[in-house]
Homo-oligomer: A and B are copies of this chain.
């Protein structure tokens, strides 16, 4: 009897070339190498606190970020068959325009090569089923700071020629003005036309003022920016896409939202109500709504959700908003949230919490559990 397929669609890497890029920098995002000890990764501006010694800023960045064998060992320990790896934030958002294309191609080629090598080693003759081996697939990164969107569109098309790429990962800033920027329309068109999934992931969080100022933000470590800032950033980004009519103009666009949609499943009803009561969305001053699709329509036709929400309460909102468990996919957020004691051989609580929540939320529905754990991802991303 084989175990059901488990696919992790939310799992990050920094390929070695990306590590070198971060090491060459002195402003966020950057990697600092203390004289003694593990390199430190400073990716959030709230991490770059001048009152903290440089050697202690940010978080330790070890081989779990860049060594694919550490990823494979993590997968084995947690019963994961396939991982769809993606560059971790902040991707290539910070690059100068003239560097963007070269780095995007280099990193995406790295990802393809890594997946190809691992999958070849796992199953030379390609005779095993997905749930009988460990395999990798990847979401690519886009050169969003490139001098014109054609370069982004070309990279989306090129990714379709790389056998292990399964879409793209993107942050919330788009070309720098958010995801409701009309200049992104060629990008949405290319994603729609190539049937590429876009994994929307937070990075910038919320400004410190949202939490009451930098002293409040820092008072509780990373809890406020990570627990509240990240999910809200995702929610704001996708809501801006929705309000600007992106999903009306590109009805075939498919996006995967990190952290079960940030808070979109919970707030969808309130968003819909606020639109219904907002004059700006009543076209011609009449009864005709300015948007063709409701938030619920978008959740049930354009959006997929990961199951990285750490509890049954969030999962129940997610599956209710999605209309079906078929749109949810298991994820781990590896290598983030490791055990605090750095015991790399232990099971990670951040992973087991999500496993347990899925089992608990769908206790009586084995099909739903198996779909969320891997079946949905295999279908949606055409993994084989």
Residues of A within 8 A of B (CB): 177-178, 180, 206-207, 209-212, 216, 219-224, 226-228, 231-232, 235-236, 239-240, 243-244, 259-260, 263, 265-282, 296, 309-314, 316-318, 320-321, 337-338, 340, 349-350, 353, 357
Chain B positions within 8 Å of A222 at CB level: 274, 278
Closest chain B residue to A312, Cβ basis:
B320
CB contact under 8 A between A243 and B269, given known A228-B232, A231-B263: no
With beta carbons under 8 angstroms apart, the residue of B272, B274, B340 that contacts A311 is: B272
Q: Closest CB of chain B to A350's CB: distance in Å?
A: 6
Chain B positions within 8 Å of A263 at CB level: 231-232, 263, 266-267
Q: Closest CB of chain B to A273's CB: distance in Å?
A: 4
Chain B positions within 8 Å of A278 at CB level: 220-223
- Chain multiplicity (copies): 2
Closest chain B residue to A353, Cβ basis:
B273
With beta carbons under 8 angstroms apart, the residue of B210, B266, B340 that contacts A309 is: B266
The reply to whether A224 and B236 form a contact with Cβ atoms under 8 Å apart is yes
The reply to whether A239 and B227 form a contact with Cβ atoms under 8 Å apart is yes
The reply to whether A231 and B267 form a contact with Cβ atoms under 8 Å apart is yes
CB contact under 8 A between A227 and B311, given known A220-B243, A232-B232, A353-B269: no
Separation of A267 and B231 alpha carbons in the complex (Å): 8
Chain B positions within 8 Å of A178 at CB level: 212, 216
In the assembled complex, 8 residue pairs joining A and B whose CB atoms fall closer than 8 Å, in A order, are: A178-B212, A227-B271, A227-B273, A260-B266, A268-B311, A269-B313, A277-B350, A316-B320
Closest chain B residue to A243, Cβ basis:
B220
Separation of A161 and B186 alpha carbons in the complex (Å): 66
Most B CB contacts (10 A, CB to CB) among A209, A259, A310, A349 go to A310
Chain B positions within 8 Å of A318 at CB level: 313
Separation of A18 and B272 alpha carbons in the complex (Å): 31
CB contact under 8 A between A228 and B271, given known A177-B212, A236-B210, A281-B221: yes
The reply to whether B221 and A210 form a contact with Cβ atoms under 8 Å apart is no
Q: Closest CB of chain B to A2's CB: distance in Å?
A: 30
Chain B positions within 8 Å of A177 at CB level: 212
Separation of A221 and B207 alpha carbons in the complex (Å): 21
With beta carbons under 8 angstroms apart, the residue of B219, B226, B279, B310 that contacts A272 is: B310
Separation of A309 and B226 alpha carbons in the complex (Å): 24
Q: Closest CB of chain B to A59's CB: distance in Å?
A: 10
CB contact under 8 A between A270 and B227, given known A243-B220, A279-B340, A317-B316: yes
Chain B positions within 8 Å of A338 at CB level: 277
Chain B positions within 8 Å of A260 at CB level: 266
Chain B positions within 8 Å of A223 at CB level: 239, 243, 271, 274-275, 278, 280-281
The reply to whether A212 and B240 form a contact with Cβ atoms under 8 Å apart is yes
Chain B positions within 8 Å of A272 at CB level: 310-311
Chain B positions within 8 Å of A311 at CB level: 268-270, 272, 296, 320-321
Chain B positions within 8 Å of A211 at CB level: 236, 240
Q: Closest CB of chain B to A92's CB: distance in Å?
A: 20
With beta carbons under 8 angstroms apart, the residue of B207, B266, B280 that contacts A266 is: B266
Separation of A78 and B92 alpha carbons in the complex (Å): 53
Closest chain B residue to A209, Cβ basis:
B207
Q: Closest CB of chain B to A235's CB: distance in Å?
A: 6
With beta carbons under 8 angstroms apart, the residue of B212, B274, B314 that contacts A270 is: B314
Since A219-B244, A269-B357 are in contact, a sample of 15 more A-B pairs with Cβ atoms closer than 8 Å, ordered by chain A residue number, is A210-B236, A219-B243, A221-B279, A222-B278, A223-B280, A227-B274, A259-B270, A265-B314, A267-B314, A276-B349, A277-B340, A282-B340, A311-B321, A313-B318, A316-B317
